[in-house]
């Protein structure tokens, strides 16, 4: 994502000599010097002073060094975020509902639990976990190789409740399939409200033939 000669320049500046940088980069000293010369020509700036004791950054070199370091950090962060976004796009499944007539049965069920904590209605954690398990079933059965199978809830591990879910909230559910051995698989699940995590859990599921 950046001129590779910058990496060589930074390595020489850190090491203080061409020979040490060459050893670190698994290059010859001549190759390292050629890269530095090419970078200086390209930028039309003198970046390093060559002395008998090694190399020293010029004032211009100090500026380029500082921004190169920042560029490396930004590039690494951008790659991490891009890879995470690509992974999420491949493996995360979301199931949502709006508070309209089609979800009336869910709302009726919701209000049955207004007495769960008198005076402070909340969605019970067991229902959040059940909703996450259903989301995991959608994720598992959405794979072509699992078409026509039945997904059974096998277990819960490391369940954590981080935020109350109350009437009127829209709960967004995520489940990423992270492991599968034969008919048994594991999903990492999370529930969100307004961008804040309400619950997380690792769910185990078992795939079976409904006619077996």
The catalytic residue among 42, 116, 174, 181 is 116
Rounded CA Rg of the chain: 28
Torsion of CA 188, 189, 195, 199, to 10 degrees: -120
Please confirm, yes or no, whether 116 is among the known catalytic residues: yes
Q: Are 208 and 137 in contact (CB under 8 A)?
A: no
One-character DSSP codes across 36-93: HHHHHHHHTS--EEEETTEEEE-HHHHHHHHHHHHHHHHHHHHHHHHHHHHHHHHHEE
Q: What whole-number distance in Å separates Cα of residue 91 and Cα of residue 149?
A: 19
Which H or E run includes 54? strand 54-57
CB-based contacts of 20: which residues, under 8 Å, 6+ apart?
Answer: none
Residue in 91, 93, 90, 131 with CA at minimum distance from that of residue 109: 131
Instruction: State the catalytic residues.
Output: 116
């Amino acid at each position: 994502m950046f001129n590779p000669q910058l990496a060589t320049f930074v390595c020489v500046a850190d090491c203080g000599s061409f020979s040490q940088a060459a050893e670190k980069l698994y290059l010859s000293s001549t190759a390292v010097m050629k890269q530095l010369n090419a970078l200086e020509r390209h930028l039309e700036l003198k970046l390093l002073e060559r002395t008998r004791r090694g190399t020293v950054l010029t004032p211009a070199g100090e500026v380029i060094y500082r921004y190169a370091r920042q560029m490396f950090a930004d590039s690494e962060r951008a790659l991490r975020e891009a890879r995470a976004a690509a992974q999420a796009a491949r493996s995360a499944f979301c199931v949502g509902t709006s508070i309209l007539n089609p979800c009336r049965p869910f709302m009726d069920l919701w209000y049955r639990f207004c007495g769960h904590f008198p005076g402070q209605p909340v969605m019970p954690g067991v229902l959040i976990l059940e909703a996450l398990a259903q989301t995991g079933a959608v994720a598992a059965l959405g794979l072509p190789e699992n078409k026509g199978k039945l997904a059974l809830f096998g277990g819960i591990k490391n369940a954590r409740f981080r935020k109350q879910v109350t009437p009127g909230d829209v709960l967004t559910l995520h489940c990423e399939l992270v492991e599968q051995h034969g008919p048994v698989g594991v999903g990492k699940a999370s529930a969100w409200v307004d961008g804040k995590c309400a619950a997380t859990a690792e769910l185990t599921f078992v795939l079976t033939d409904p006619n077996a």
